Structure formats: C-alpha cells, structure tokens
Amino acid sequence: MFDFDMLGLAPALNTALERAGFSEPTPIQNQAIPLALDGHDIMGLAQTGTGKTLAFGLPLIDHLLAQPGKPLPKTSKALILAPTRELVNQIAESLRGLTEGTKLKVTTVVGGQSIGKQISILSRGTDILVATPGRLMDLMDRGAVDLGQVRHLVLDEADQMLDMGFIHALRKIAPKLGTPRQTMLFSATMPKQMEELSRAYLTDPRRVEVSPPGKAADKITQSVHFLEKPEKPRKLREILSQDPNALTLVFARTKHGAEKLMKGLRADGFNAASIHGNKSQGQRDRAIKGFRDGDITVLVATDVAARGIDIPGVAYVINYDLPEVPDNYVHRIGRTARAGREGEAISFCASDEADLLAQIQRLMKIEVPVASGTSPLIDGRAPGGSKPGRSRRGKGGGAGKPSAQAPGGRGRARRPRRKKAA
C-alpha cells in the first residue's frame, strides 16, 4: 500500500487530492493506478463504491497534464463512455474536482439535453469528453465531434453498456478513435461478453480485481421479507417510518411503478421523489441533488439509477421489486455502504419473484438472511429453479427462520444508526 503522494503525480493532482481529503488509495486504486501510469491497458473488476473513478481518473489526468497544446476544434484527447446520464455527470463532477486550477477542460454529452448547445461547446474542443454512447453517436452523425485525436479510452460500467445494447455503438465508435491509445475498462461484474469486449478493444491488458464478480461490499447488511405484492406498500411504510430522516433509495421494476409508488409515499407524508426514464434530465438532476442534500429522504428509482448515484450518505436500499437481471441486484445495493461506511439492503420477495431471488443468491453465493415471512424456496431453490450457493453467514439465514437481522423472529430487520450525508 502507498500514499497518493508517493506516486509521482503532477503537483496539481496532489493538491487536488489533499483538498478533497484523499490520502490513501483504495484497493482497486492501489492496483490499477501504477499500471495505468506506466501506460498499460487495464481491465478492472471491483464492486461499486470502491473508488473506480479515481483509479482511471488520476492516471488519465496525469498523462494529459504532460501533453502540450490545447485540443483542436471538435476534438477531444480522452473519451470516457458510461451507460447512464447520472453516471456521466458523476464521473465529470469527480474529474472537475481533480482538474480545478489546471488547463484541462472536462465536457459531458448526454441525452435529454440540448444537442445544439452540446455542438456549440464541442466546437471549441475539450480535453476529456464524458459521454453516453447514444448521444455521442448522434453528435458523430452530425459531424459535431472528431474522435481521431483520442489517445485514452475509458469504458466505465462496461457490463451495463452491454446489457443496454450499446455494443453496436461501441463497434461504430472504436474505429474512429486515434491510435495508439490506452484503453481502460472497468466493471463490477464479469459476464462472458466482457471477455470478448476486452479482446476486441484492449491490447495485452493488465487485469486488476479486488473482489469476486457478483460480490457486494462487505459492510452491507442484507435481508429479505417474504410477502405478497398487496402487502408490499404496508411493509415499505413500516420500514421507512422506523428511521424517517435516513436517506433511503427504493428500487421499482418499471417507470410506471416507480412513479405510482412515489406519489403514494408523498400522499402519506413521506418526503419522496422519483427518477426514471420518463423524467427529463433536469428533473432527474434536481431529484438527485435534493436527495444528496437531504432535502429529499426517499428516492424511488428504476435501474437507470443503479450505477449513477454516488452519495455516501445513502443508509438503506430497499428492493421493492427484485430485479429481473441478477447482476442489477449487486449494483442496486452498492448504492449504500459507500466510502467505507455501513449500510443495509432490504428486499421484498413475492411468490412470483422466488426464482429471481434464487438467481441472485446463486450469483452472490450466499443465502440472503430472512427478516420476515416464510420462504417459498425449497432447499435453497425456487420451484423449478436451481440451488444457489451456500450462505457465508452460516445457517442463521435459513428459509423461514429468524436471522441475525430479525432478533426474536419478530419480522423486522434491524436497521443501523443513520449516518449523515457527506
């Protein structure tokens, strides 16, 4: 382990790290940064909340600071692709903090905002372009951006880009980039397609991995309530009322369901907002800012937000609906226990979601401890499903039994003390 000031980074970066209160790197930063500074392509695997942005951002900025000259009109020296607007904005915010007081300019392009304004900004050129693939393709089709000067490519949350069908956009974008270039790919999970992606876009990459794919952060306490759908609203309100001032992120499966749930919570006096694909970018930005600032305490979201929210103060994640893609469970609950803090993930499982829970447990190689209700899983399997891995927490989380998260079997998950938002 080393301190940041031992890396030989540009003085401006050391100043920015000191200003932000960073002194020691996280495990993924510890492994990735020295290799990236040496110019190697990187394939990084780490759960959410472990500091991946600095892992690629610091060496990227260090390289750019050493390069003379301003970017030419319509060009960029580095390109960072991320799957959602929220994640693009989060990355850009972090990088701007690191480049403050330097010559480097960070620009974002995402859907839902004025493409005319983005064309105007890009006409002046930028050092680092952070973009969603879809909007970048729109700008390329209009001749508004020239990627031939890009010598650094970062694919962040690459597995979700594959899930969202962006592989076709990547195949069109990659040939337009300059060569030779350094490519860094980061992801929290490792589907088979990721290996194919790495072979296509990375050259002799160095693989850095700080946790097995599909593993949640160690400081997340997980539990599940078995109940039918009509019982979910009552249980949600009961849990939220236990700690009404805590920042709680609630995941629903559909846009309509998220909006309906948010309106119902508001009607019952909860300070709630929602973000999903039917919201404008401005509405989503305001909701996230309100949540970050603590003005909103309950944020109801679809999976569009699973990887785009980096708010250390999120105390609880509630899976009102289980995700249909098991990997998304890992990303959802990774919104809590960030920056070394503790957090809790609570899931609701109706009888028709039992197979989804079985898939999640198989991916994570645990049995999620039961907080209340009777599990429909038989010997760890949903009817007609396959057996998940054995719990690392021992037998206390067995189906239908009181767990460590439900003392006395009263059907209520123990909630940690609220931590203030950073």
pLDDT at site 159: 81
* Segments in 38-187 forming alpha helices (H): 52-65, 85-99, 115-122, 133-141, 158-163, 167-173
Q: Is the pLDDT of residue 404 over 50?
A: no
Q: Which residues of 231-257 are buried (b: 16+ CB within 10 A; e: fewer)?
A: ebeebbeebbeebeebbbbbbbbebeb
Mean pLDDT is highest, among 181-190, 191-200, 391-400, for: 181-190
Per the model's pLDDT, the better-predicted residue between 134 and 306 turns out to be 134
Position 380 scores a pLDDT of 62
Task: Mean pLDDT check: name the lowest of 209-223, 235-249, 351-365.
Answer: 209-223
pLDDT at 86: 85
Amino acid, res. 155: L
Q: Work out the average pLDDT over 374-379.
A: 75
Q: How far does Cα 242 stand from its chain's mean position?
A: 27
Give the pLDDT mean for 183-208: 85
**Tell me, what's the pLDDT at 410?**
33
pLDDT over threshold 80, residue 20: yes
Q: How many helices (H) and strands (E) does the chain have?
A: 14, 14
Of the listed ranges 28-37, 203-212, 331-340, the least confidently predicted one is 331-340
- Which percentage of the chain shows pLDDT scores above 90? 57
pLDDT at 420 > cutoff 80: no
Question: pLDDT of 247-277, one tens digit each?
Answer: 999 999 999 999 999 999 999 999 999 998 8
Using a pLDDT cut of 70, give the percent of the chain over it: 85
Beta partners for 126?
A: 76
The pLDDT of 377-401, averaged and rounded, is 45
Give the pLDDT mean for 302-330: 84
First vs last C-alpha separation in the chain: 26
The candidate with the shortest Cα–Cα distance to 248, out of 202, 292, 299, is: 299
pLDDT tens-digit map of 74-94: 999 999 999 888 889 989 999
Q: Which helix (H) or strand (E) holds 130?
A: strand 126-131
Residue 298 region by backbone torsions, left for phi larger than 0, else alpha for psi between -120 and 50, else beta = beta
Q: Write down the pLDDT at residue 323.
A: 94
> Under a CB-based contact definition with an 8 Å cutoff, are residues 368 and 406 in contact?
no
pTM as predicted: 0.68
What is residue 390's predicted lDDT score, i.e. its pLDDT?
A: 33
Whether omega for the bond prior to residue 416 falls within 30 degrees of 0, making it cis, is no
Residue 335 has pLDDT above 70, yes or no: yes
Q: Which of 329, 338, 282, 340 is nearest to 309 (CA)?
A: 338
Distance (Å, whole) CA 420 – CA 64: 36
Collect all residues with Cβ–Cβ distance below 8 Å to 291 and sequence separation of at least 6.
Answer: 247, 249, 273, 297, 299, 309, 311
Q: How many residues does the chain have?
A: 422
> What's the confidence (pLDDT) of residue 208?
92
pLDDT band at 209 (very low <50, low <70, confident <90, very high): confident
Is the model's pLDDT at 381 over the cut of 70?
no
Predicted local confidence at residue 198, as pLDDT: 83
DSSP state of 324: S
At residue 326, the pLDDT reads: 87
Task: Give yes or no for a contact between 325 and 163, defined as CB atoms under 8 angstroms apart.
Answer: yes
SS3 307: coil
**Range name among 128-142, 301-315, 323-337, 340-354 with the lowest pLDDT average:** 301-315
Could you give the CA distance from residue 404 to residue 371 in angstroms, rounded to a whole number? 8
pLDDT at 340: 65
- Name the pLDDT band for 397 (thresholds 50, 70, 90): very low
Q: What is the set of domains in the chain, with CATH numbers?
A: 4-209 (3.40.50.300), 220-409 (3.40.50.300)
Give me 365's structure tokens: 């190689």
Q: Which residue has better confidence, 406 or 275?
A: 275
Q: What is the mean pLDDT of the chain?
A: 85
As given in the structure block, the two tokens for residue 205 are 């990459």
The predicted structure's pLDDT at residue 396: 35
Coil, strand, or helix at residue 369? coil
Residue 182's pLDDT band (boundaries 50, 70, 90)?
very high
SS3 content of the chain, % helix, strand, coil (to 5): 40, 20, 40
Q: How far apart are CA 143 and CA 139, in angstroms?
A: 6
